[in-house]
Structure 1
Amino acid sequence: KQYGPVMSVRMGRQDWVVLGDYETIQQGLVKHGNAFSGRPSIATIDQITEGHGVLFIDYNDHWKRQRRFGLSTLRGFGVGKRSMEDRITEEVAYLNDAIRTHDGKAFDIQSILSNAVSNNICSIVMGRRFDYDDERFKEIMGRLARGYITLLSDTQLLQYVRDLFVAGTETTTSTVRWSLLCLIHNPETQEKLRKEIFEVLGTQFSFENKSKMPYTSAFIQEIYRYRTLVPLSVTHMTNEDAHISGYTIPKGTTIAPNLWAVHNDPEEWDEPNKFKPERHLDAGGNFVQLKHVIPFSVGPRHCLGEQLARMEVFIFLVSLVQKFEFLPDPKAT
């Protein structure tokens, strides 16, 4: 509010530039995407990745080749297709069985939900899923939680797989957990969601019917807006001197796109601090895909796994609401 949508902030010994509204982020990351798609060097990450992987490497021909490799490989394993839908649906069945072992008693879903989401990555990377109590799987999940995971001998492939696990597990898991928490705190929303799910799908599931489920789509889009998982996105860096909104930003400047500000802009959202799925529906009750919801960022470096993540969130949420009612722990203080 005080300094406008382009603001410099001292971070340690560096001056970062924060892009603080939708138009400025679009101008930088999309219109001038080549100039704003670098990655700053972060010592701890450089030490772990040794300059490999895809998430944190700089914007150059090597990154472009790795990006194309990732997109083509994910498509080859069925991401966005029925085969991937079947894999995720199968995993949800195992998750449901794990939930049922608690016999309706209150419990923390984080661990088994994280296992389920990680198993989708395992099915792509390793060609198989793991039982949640499998010792090798628990070792992988433990290493992932500590930020250290080894599976393979080739360094570039190892770091690529690590990026898939790191970026593809915690984000989707947290999105589903926030969804469940919002259902617990908004029981009338949970009933609306369940009513639409059963009216359209019954007890079965089909991703292709998503277009017939406007309230479910609105609920998910509101989750993405209401709880921005990476508020300042993954930092970018200018590859050359760049000009934006009347400012000149020198080459090598760290850029932080403020996604939280976009999702909470009072000029765009009525009562942005409130959870209201209905804001994503038109007067006729139809779902409206709003451009100001950008949880996966925009531009050349938008999330590689966006399509997989959107499919996972939809299938997990719908399947869980089909099978269970989510209530607060009656013993919680």
Structure 2
Amino acid sequence: MSETLAVMIVYPIVEHINPFKAAADDYRAKVNRLTGFANNALKKHSNSIDENAISDYLTAFLHEQKSRNGGDGFTDPQLMRALLDFFVAGTETISTSTLWALLFLIHYPEIQKKLYDEINFISDNKESDIEWNDHTNCPYTNAFIQEVFRCRPVTPLGLQRMTAKDVELEGYFIPKGTPVMGNIWSVHHDPKHWKNPEAFQPERHLNEEGDFIFSNKIIPFCIGARVCPGEKLARMEMFFLITNLVKNFEFSSDPSSPKLPEMTDGVKGFLYTPHHYKIVAKARI
């Protein structure tokens, strides 16, 4: 399904023929369900807005909309578009990254053990749940997450942009108004920057002392003025998901399957997702 949607993004005219028409209809039905959910949330907030307590995005938007009389882009259609973007961009991407992470965990049990030992040590020492402040004390966990982002960027070609003016780049002339896409996959797998780029190696993000090395050459959220506004939230979500999953469960492959799930290839579309696979999650004692 994602592959057909990806084709329609580039060639929207094909949505009138099958199998693209069926995929487009299914996508519209999902959007309509999301729109209905967002409309209900909007009604509840509109009826109970407290201008002295800005507790979330919806309340803040409605407050600004009232103060600006609906001007400066603070309109109902703009709010609905933003809410849909939050759902699509903020859930599908992190859930897909988590699926890739779990796949790496069952392929590399020694990596899973290192993660568990680090996470368990931190949580035992503080005798409470992992908090965001703890991420500075989890170098291997950070290295693992960064390697997941590097090896399997969820959007290998990023989002489509358009040149605002004529530009020449490395001898190529790109006229104003040209759609352009950044090749994130190429950046993440460039052998000039990464030794054995196809290999999954969290240790590449640790220095000799075992400290985590943040890399600006890993750009799953794109770069520049149009970088994903939810980057910080996404990194926090990924950290909490990985630490809590590994702390509470030991993951292994389906014992009824003759081989491990496919890891070197996935479903190519607008998003790059792993093929469906089964996994065993055994609760830790």
State the distance in 1 between where 2:164 and 2:201 align: 39
State the 1:228 CA deviation: 1.1
Among residues 87, 94, 97, which one is paired with 1:165 in the alignment?
87
State the 1:243 CA deviation: 2.4
Give matches, 1:1-333, under 5 Å: 146-148=30-32, 149-150=34-35, 151-152=38-39, 154-202=76-124, 204-333=129-258
State the distance in 2 between where 1:328 and 1:41 align: 37
Q: Secondary structure at the match of 1:327?
A: strand
Say if 1:144 and 1:166, in contact at 8 Å, map to a contact too.
Answer: no
- Superposed CA RMSD: 2.3
For residues 39-79 of structure 1, give each alpha carbon's deviation from its aligned partner in whole angstroms, at most 9, with x where no partner exists: x99858xxxxxxxxxxxxxxxxxxxxxxxxxxxxxxxxxxx
Aligned CA distance change for structure 1 residues 145 and 277 (closer, same or farther; 3 Å)? farther
For residues 79-120 of structure 1, give each alpha carbon's deviation from its aligned partner in whole angstroms, at most 9, with x where no partner exists: xxxxxxxxxxxxxxxxxxxxxxxxxxxxxxxxxxxxxxxxxx
State the distance in 1 between where 2:218 and 2:93 align: 16
Aligned CA distance change for structure 1 residues 250 and 311 (closer, same or farther; 3 Å)? same
State the distance in 2 between where 1:206 and 1:165 align: 24
Aligned residue number for residue 274 of structure 2: none
Aligned CA distance change for structure 1 residues 221 and 256 (closer, same or farther; 3 Å)? same
For residues 188-225 of structure 1, give each alpha carbon's deviation from its aligned partner in whole angstroms, at most 9, with x where no partner exists: 00000000111122262121011111100000000000
Unaligned runs of 5+ in 1: 1-11, 13-39, 45-141
Say if 2:143 and 2:203, in contact at 8 Å, map to a contact too.
Answer: yes
Determine which structure has more spread, i.e. the larger CA radius of gyration. Answer: 2
Say if 2:122 and 2:130, in contact at 8 Å, map to a contact too.
Answer: no
Please tell me the residue identity of whatever aligns with 2:231.
Answer: E
Normalized against structure 2, the TM-score is what? 0.65
- Count of residue correspondences: 198
State the distance in 2 between where 1:42 and 1:147 align: 20
Say if 1:265 and 1:272, in contact at 8 Å, map to a contact too.
Answer: yes
Aligned CA distance change for structure 1 residues 144 and 225 (closer, same or farther; 3 Å)? farther
Say if 2:166 and 2:174, in contact at 8 Å, map to a contact too.
Answer: yes
For residues 208-257 of structure 1, give each alpha carbon's deviation from its aligned partner in whole angstroms, at most 9, with x where no partner exists: 01111110000000000010111110011101111222332100111110
For residues 237-292 of structure 1, give each alpha carbon's deviation from its aligned partner in whole angstroms, at most 9, with x where no partner exists: 10111122233210011111000000000111111111000000011111101111
> What is the identity percentage for the equivalent residue pairs of Structure 1 and Structure 2?
43
For residues 282-321 of structure 1, give each alpha carbon's deviation from its aligned partner in whole angstroms, at most 9, with x where no partner exists: 1111110111100000011111111110000000110111
Unaligned runs of 5+ in 2: 1-6, 14-25, 43-75, 259-285
Say if 2:163 and 2:175, in contact at 8 Å, map to a contact too.
Answer: yes
